[in-house]
Amino acid sequence: QVQLVETGGGLVQAGGSLRLSCAASGRTFSQYAMGWFRQAPGKEREFVAAITRSGGIADYADSGKGRFTISRDNAKNTMFLQMNSLKPEDTAVYYCAATLATIASTEKLYHYWGQGTQVTVSS
């Protein structure tokens, strides 16, 4: 079992920045590739970014390329999502997730999920 807890969400104006954190406990964090997903009101959950076990490779949805940066600190069992130049369309609940795949953008490949943190971007 891996328990995941997201923090760092909040209300920010368009153009602003937020840094989300995902703290993991339980089994060895470094055994899992990690990902961020988001779900806006009335929409399905969608992929945001993913990172390999070592942190050496990252993948991003087109919506976040150039604005979002995913990273991880295996010594601290924590993953991050730095979000810059935020837009109102980034408003959503952001979830972190863990997978045994090498890296994945598909929701169904993820085994463990956090409860989510709300990000609201005002125009």
Which tens digits make up the pLDDT trace of 22-69?
999 977 899 999 999 999 999 999 999 999 999 999 999 999 999 999
Average pLDDT value over all residues in the chain: 96
Mean pLDDT over 68-96 rounds to: 97
Q: Which residue has the tokens 């390999």?
A: 52
